[in-house]
Structure 1
Amino acid sequence: MKKIYKKYISIIIVILIIDIFSKYWIFNHLDLYEIKKILSVLNFFHVHNYGVAFSAFSSKTLWNRFFLSTLSIIIILLIFKEILKSKKKHKKLALCFIIAGAIGNLTDRIYYGFVIDFIDMHINNWHFATFNVSDCSIFIGIVIYIKNKYKVNK
Protein backbone atom coordinates (compact mmCIF):
# COMPACT_ATOMS: atom_id res chain seq x y z
CA MET A 1 0.00 0.00 0.00
CA LYS A 2 1.31 3.43 -0.86
CA LYS A 3 2.79 5.44 1.99
CA ILE A 4 0.33 8.28 1.40
CA TYR A 5 -2.67 5.99 1.87
CA LYS A 6 -1.21 4.76 5.17
CA LYS A 7 -1.21 8.38 6.35
CA TYR A 8 -4.89 8.83 5.48
CA ILE A 9 -5.87 5.47 6.97
CA SER A 10 -4.00 6.44 10.15
CA ILE A 11 -6.01 9.68 10.36
CA ILE A 12 -9.26 7.75 10.04
CA ILE A 13 -8.20 5.21 12.68
CA VAL A 14 -7.11 7.89 15.19
CA ILE A 15 -10.42 9.74 14.82
CA LEU A 16 -12.36 6.48 15.21
CA ILE A 17 -10.43 5.54 18.35
CA ILE A 18 -11.10 8.93 19.95
CA ASP A 19 -14.77 8.73 18.94
CA ILE A 20 -15.33 5.16 20.15
CA PHE A 21 -13.58 5.68 23.49
CA SER A 22 -15.33 9.00 24.17
CA LYS A 23 -18.75 7.45 23.50
CA TYR A 24 -17.81 4.37 25.55
CA TRP A 25 -16.83 6.60 28.47
CA ILE A 26 -20.06 8.61 28.26
CA PHE A 27 -22.19 5.45 27.96
CA ASN A 28 -20.56 3.88 31.01
CA HIS A 29 -20.10 6.93 33.25
CA LEU A 30 -23.15 9.14 32.65
CA ASP A 31 -26.75 8.04 32.89
CA LEU A 32 -29.03 8.87 29.99
CA TYR A 33 -29.89 12.61 30.16
CA GLU A 34 -27.33 13.20 32.91
CA ILE A 35 -25.38 16.45 32.63
CA LYS A 36 -21.75 16.92 33.69
CA LYS A 37 -20.55 20.53 33.64
CA ILE A 38 -17.11 20.86 32.02
CA LEU A 39 -16.77 24.62 31.36
CA SER A 40 -19.13 27.57 31.61
CA VAL A 41 -20.08 27.01 27.94
CA LEU A 42 -19.62 23.23 27.73
CA ASN A 43 -21.40 20.27 29.30
CA PHE A 44 -21.33 16.57 28.70
CA PHE A 45 -24.98 15.60 28.25
CA HIS A 46 -25.69 11.93 27.48
CA VAL A 47 -28.43 11.59 24.85
CA HIS A 48 -29.32 9.02 22.19
CA ASN A 49 -29.98 10.20 18.64
CA TYR A 50 -32.09 7.80 16.59
CA GLY A 51 -31.97 10.07 13.55
CA VAL A 52 -29.31 11.99 11.69
CA ALA A 53 -28.12 15.62 12.02
CA PHE A 54 -30.24 17.63 14.46
CA SER A 55 -32.28 14.43 15.10
CA ALA A 56 -33.88 14.55 11.64
CA PHE A 57 -35.61 11.28 10.66
CA SER A 58 -35.65 10.32 14.33
CA SER A 59 -37.59 7.13 14.95
CA LYS A 60 -36.88 4.09 17.13
CA THR A 61 -38.12 1.62 14.51
CA LEU A 62 -36.03 -1.19 13.08
CA TRP A 63 -36.84 0.09 9.58
CA ASN A 64 -35.37 3.52 10.40
CA ARG A 65 -32.23 1.89 11.83
CA PHE A 66 -31.84 -0.29 8.72
CA PHE A 67 -32.51 2.62 6.33
CA LEU A 68 -30.05 5.01 8.00
CA SER A 69 -27.38 2.30 8.33
CA THR A 70 -27.75 1.35 4.66
CA LEU A 71 -27.63 4.99 3.60
CA SER A 72 -24.49 5.50 5.70
CA ILE A 73 -22.77 2.48 4.14
CA ILE A 74 -23.54 3.74 0.63
CA ILE A 75 -22.20 7.21 1.47
CA ILE A 76 -19.05 5.73 3.05
CA LEU A 77 -18.39 3.62 -0.06
CA LEU A 78 -18.89 6.63 -2.35
CA ILE A 79 -16.54 8.76 -0.24
CA PHE A 80 -13.95 5.97 -0.17
CA LYS A 81 -14.14 5.74 -3.98
CA GLU A 82 -13.66 9.52 -4.20
CA ILE A 83 -10.60 9.35 -1.90
CA LEU A 84 -9.00 6.79 -4.23
CA LYS A 85 -9.78 8.88 -7.33
CA SER A 86 -8.71 12.25 -5.99
CA LYS A 87 -5.30 13.69 -6.80
CA LYS A 88 -5.59 16.64 -4.37
CA LYS A 89 -4.14 16.11 -0.89
CA HIS A 90 -6.51 18.56 0.82
CA LYS A 91 -9.51 16.82 -0.74
CA LYS A 92 -8.27 13.42 0.44
CA LEU A 93 -7.72 14.85 3.93
CA ALA A 94 -11.20 16.42 4.03
CA LEU A 95 -12.81 13.19 2.87
CA CYS A 96 -10.87 11.20 5.49
CA PHE A 97 -12.35 13.37 8.25
CA ILE A 98 -15.82 12.96 6.75
CA ILE A 99 -15.53 9.20 6.30
CA ALA A 100 -14.15 8.74 9.85
CA GLY A 101 -17.16 10.56 11.26
CA ALA A 102 -19.56 8.59 9.11
CA ILE A 103 -17.99 5.29 10.18
CA GLY A 104 -18.07 6.33 13.86
CA ASN A 105 -21.77 7.14 13.78
CA LEU A 106 -22.54 4.04 11.69
CA THR A 107 -20.77 1.89 14.27
CA ASP A 108 -23.04 3.30 16.99
CA ARG A 109 -26.16 2.84 14.89
CA ILE A 110 -25.33 -0.82 14.17
CA TYR A 111 -24.14 -1.66 17.71
CA TYR A 112 -26.62 0.32 19.83
CA GLY A 113 -29.43 1.18 17.43
CA PHE A 114 -28.78 4.89 18.00
CA VAL A 115 -25.90 7.37 18.00
CA ILE A 116 -24.48 8.53 21.33
CA ASP A 117 -24.29 12.33 21.48
CA PHE A 118 -22.80 14.15 24.45
CA ILE A 119 -21.12 17.46 23.60
CA ASP A 120 -23.43 20.28 24.71
CA MET A 121 -22.24 23.78 23.78
CA HIS A 122 -24.29 26.58 25.29
CA ILE A 123 -24.45 30.23 26.18
CA ASN A 124 -26.61 30.76 29.26
CA ASN A 125 -29.91 28.99 28.44
CA TRP A 126 -29.30 28.74 24.67
CA HIS A 127 -27.99 25.30 23.70
CA PHE A 128 -26.67 24.18 20.33
CA ALA A 129 -27.69 20.68 19.18
CA THR A 130 -25.84 18.00 21.17
CA PHE A 131 -23.18 16.25 19.08
CA ASN A 132 -20.16 13.91 19.31
CA VAL A 133 -16.58 13.48 18.05
CA SER A 134 -17.79 11.92 14.78
CA ASP A 135 -19.98 14.94 14.10
CA CYS A 136 -16.98 17.22 14.78
CA SER A 137 -14.90 15.17 12.36
CA ILE A 138 -17.52 15.49 9.63
CA PHE A 139 -17.76 19.25 10.24
CA ILE A 140 -13.95 19.68 10.12
CA GLY A 141 -13.83 17.68 6.87
CA ILE A 142 -16.50 19.88 5.30
CA VAL A 143 -14.66 23.04 6.39
CA ILE A 144 -11.37 21.76 4.91
CA TYR A 145 -13.15 20.81 1.68
CA ILE A 146 -14.96 24.15 1.29
CA LYS A 147 -11.92 26.21 2.31
CA ASN A 148 -9.78 24.62 -0.38
CA LYS A 149 -12.50 24.36 -3.00
CA TYR A 150 -13.16 28.11 -2.93
CA LYS A 151 -9.63 29.24 -2.13
CA VAL A 152 -8.78 32.52 -3.82
CA ASN A 153 -5.23 32.77 -5.11
CA LYS A 154 -3.58 36.08 -4.31
Structure 2
Amino acid sequence: MTPFFNWVHLWNTGAAFSLFANGGGWQRYFFIGIAVVVSIFLIKLILENRHKGEAIAYSLILGGAMGNLIDRVFRGYVVDSFDFYWRDWHWPAFNLADIAIVLGALLFVSSSLLGKKANTNAEPDGSD
Protein backbone atom coordinates (compact mmCIF):
# COMPACT_ATOMS: atom_id res chain seq x y z
CA MET A 1 0.00 0.00 0.00
CA THR A 2 2.70 2.47 0.98
CA PRO A 3 6.50 2.36 1.13
CA PHE A 4 6.26 1.59 4.87
CA PHE A 5 2.89 -0.09 5.62
CA ASN A 6 0.80 -3.10 4.56
CA TRP A 7 -2.59 -4.36 5.70
CA VAL A 8 -2.12 -8.04 6.49
CA HIS A 9 -4.19 -10.88 7.92
CA LEU A 10 -1.92 -12.99 10.12
CA TRP A 11 -2.89 -15.63 12.65
CA ASN A 12 -0.71 -15.26 15.72
CA THR A 13 -0.98 -18.30 17.98
CA GLY A 14 1.88 -17.01 20.14
CA ALA A 15 2.44 -13.96 22.28
CA ALA A 16 4.04 -10.65 21.35
CA PHE A 17 6.32 -10.96 18.32
CA SER A 18 4.88 -14.48 17.79
CA LEU A 19 6.82 -15.78 20.78
CA PHE A 20 5.85 -19.47 21.35
CA ALA A 21 3.83 -19.50 18.10
CA ASN A 22 5.10 -23.01 17.33
CA GLY A 23 4.29 -24.37 20.78
CA GLY A 24 1.95 -27.11 19.62
CA GLY A 25 -1.27 -25.72 21.15
CA TRP A 26 -0.50 -25.45 24.87
CA GLN A 27 0.18 -21.72 24.48
CA ARG A 28 -3.47 -20.95 23.66
CA TYR A 29 -4.64 -22.03 27.11
CA PHE A 30 -1.60 -20.55 28.82
CA PHE A 31 -2.22 -17.11 27.28
CA ILE A 32 -5.95 -17.33 27.99
CA GLY A 33 -5.13 -18.03 31.65
CA ILE A 34 -2.68 -15.16 31.85
CA ALA A 35 -5.17 -12.78 30.18
CA VAL A 36 -7.92 -13.74 32.64
CA VAL A 37 -5.66 -13.28 35.69
CA VAL A 38 -4.27 -9.96 34.39
CA SER A 39 -7.78 -8.74 33.53
CA ILE A 40 -9.08 -9.51 37.02
CA PHE A 41 -6.07 -7.74 38.53
CA LEU A 42 -6.58 -4.70 36.28
CA ILE A 43 -10.29 -4.50 37.14
CA LYS A 44 -9.32 -4.53 40.84
CA LEU A 45 -6.79 -1.73 40.23
CA ILE A 46 -9.31 0.34 38.27
CA LEU A 47 -11.93 0.02 41.01
CA GLU A 48 -9.45 0.91 43.77
CA ASN A 49 -7.61 3.65 41.92
CA ARG A 50 -8.32 7.30 42.66
CA HIS A 51 -5.95 8.77 40.06
CA LYS A 52 -7.76 9.31 36.75
CA GLY A 53 -4.63 9.00 34.55
CA GLU A 54 -3.71 5.62 35.98
CA ALA A 55 -7.31 4.39 35.75
CA ILE A 56 -7.39 5.35 32.05
CA ALA A 57 -4.05 3.59 31.51
CA TYR A 58 -5.31 0.44 33.25
CA SER A 59 -8.51 0.61 31.19
CA LEU A 60 -6.58 0.75 27.92
CA ILE A 61 -4.44 -2.22 28.95
CA LEU A 62 -7.56 -4.10 30.08
CA GLY A 63 -9.37 -3.37 26.81
CA GLY A 64 -6.42 -4.63 24.79
CA ALA A 65 -6.02 -7.73 26.94
CA MET A 66 -9.74 -8.50 26.63
CA GLY A 67 -9.66 -7.98 22.86
CA ASN A 68 -6.82 -10.45 22.47
CA LEU A 69 -8.49 -12.80 24.98
CA ILE A 70 -11.71 -12.87 22.93
CA ASP A 71 -9.72 -13.72 19.81
CA ARG A 72 -7.89 -16.54 21.60
CA VAL A 73 -11.05 -18.02 23.13
CA PHE A 74 -13.16 -17.99 19.95
CA ARG A 75 -10.51 -18.38 17.25
CA GLY A 76 -7.55 -19.98 19.01
CA TYR A 77 -5.26 -17.20 17.79
CA VAL A 78 -5.01 -13.42 17.60
CA VAL A 79 -5.49 -11.72 14.23
CA ASP A 80 -2.76 -9.18 13.48
CA SER A 81 -3.41 -6.60 10.76
CA PHE A 82 -0.78 -3.85 10.81
CA ASP A 83 2.58 -4.45 9.18
CA PHE A 84 5.09 -1.58 9.30
CA TYR A 85 8.42 -1.90 7.55
CA TRP A 86 11.36 -0.02 6.16
CA ARG A 87 13.09 -1.60 3.15
CA ASP A 88 13.86 -5.17 4.29
CA TRP A 89 13.20 -4.53 8.00
CA HIS A 90 9.71 -5.44 9.28
CA TRP A 91 8.26 -4.65 12.67
CA PRO A 92 6.24 -7.66 13.83
CA ALA A 93 2.59 -7.36 12.79
CA PHE A 94 0.15 -6.20 15.47
CA ASN A 95 -3.52 -5.29 16.00
CA LEU A 96 -5.69 -2.63 17.67
CA ALA A 97 -5.66 -4.48 20.99
CA ASP A 98 -1.86 -4.35 20.99
CA ILE A 99 -2.01 -0.60 20.32
CA ALA A 100 -4.32 -0.13 23.32
CA ILE A 101 -1.96 -2.15 25.55
CA VAL A 102 1.09 -0.13 24.48
CA LEU A 103 -0.72 3.22 24.81
CA GLY A 104 -1.96 2.20 28.26
CA ALA A 105 1.54 1.19 29.34
CA LEU A 106 3.02 4.45 28.03
CA LEU A 107 0.31 6.47 29.78
CA PHE A 108 0.90 4.57 33.02
CA VAL A 109 4.67 5.14 32.89
CA SER A 110 4.33 8.82 32.00
CA SER A 111 1.67 9.43 34.64
CA SER A 112 3.80 7.64 37.23
CA LEU A 113 6.89 9.66 36.33
CA LEU A 114 5.01 12.95 36.19
CA GLY A 115 3.19 12.15 39.42
CA LYS A 116 6.46 11.43 41.25
CA LYS A 117 8.03 14.58 39.84
CA ALA A 118 5.05 16.65 41.00
CA ASN A 119 5.24 15.05 44.45
CA THR A 120 8.95 15.78 44.84
CA ASN A 121 8.44 19.43 43.84
CA ALA A 122 5.53 19.92 46.24
CA GLU A 123 6.15 22.17 49.20
CA PRO A 124 5.82 20.62 52.64
CA ASP A 125 2.67 21.70 54.42
CA GLY A 126 4.16 21.45 57.86
CA SER A 127 1.80 18.70 59.06
CA ASP A 128 3.04 15.36 60.36
Query: The TM-score by the shorter chain falls in which range?
Result: 0.7 to 0.9
Unaligned runs of 5+ in 1: 1-36
CA RMSD, Structure 1 to Structure 2 (Å): 1.4
Larger Rg: 2
**Residues matched between the structures, number:** 117
Q: Residue 67 in 1 paired to residue 15 in 2?
A: no
Aligned amino acid, residue 50 of structure 1: T
Q: What whole-Å deviation, never above 9, does each CA across 1:120-152 have from its counterpart, x for those lacking one?
A: 011122111100000000000001000110113
**What residue is the counterpart of 2:100 in the other structure?**
137
Counting aligned pairs with the same residue, the percent is: 30
Q: Which residue of 1 aligns with 2:46?
A: 83
Matched, 1:111 2:74: yes
Give 1:60 deviation, angstroms.
5.6
TM-score of the pair, normalised by structure 1: 0.72
Q: Distance in 1 between matches of 2:25 and 2:83?
A: 27
Q: Give per-residue Cα distances to partners, 1:24-50, cap 9 Å, x unaligned.
A: xxxxxxxxxxxxx2x321111211111
Task: Name stretches of at least 5 consecutive residues in structure 2 with no aligned partner.
Answer: 122-128
Q: What is the 5 A alignment of 1:1-20?
A: none
**Alignment partner, residue 55 of structure 1:** 18
Cα distance in 2 between the residues matched to 1:57 and 1:92: 31
1:72-112 per-position Cα deviation (integer Å, ceiling 9, x unaligned) = 10111001101001110000000010000000000110111
Q: Deviations over 1:53-77 (max 9, x none)?
A: 1111223634321111111101110
4+ aligned runs moved over 3 Å, structure 1 = 59-62
Partner of 1:97: 60
Question: Normalising by the residue count of structure 2, what TM-score does the alignment of the two structures yield?
Answer: 0.85
Equivalent AA in structure 1 for residue 109 of structure 2: I
In 2: Cα distance, 1:58 partner to 1:68 partner: 11
Q: Distance in 2 between matches of 1:150 and 1:45?
A: 36
Q: Structure 1 residues 61-70 or 82-91, which shifts more? A: 61-70
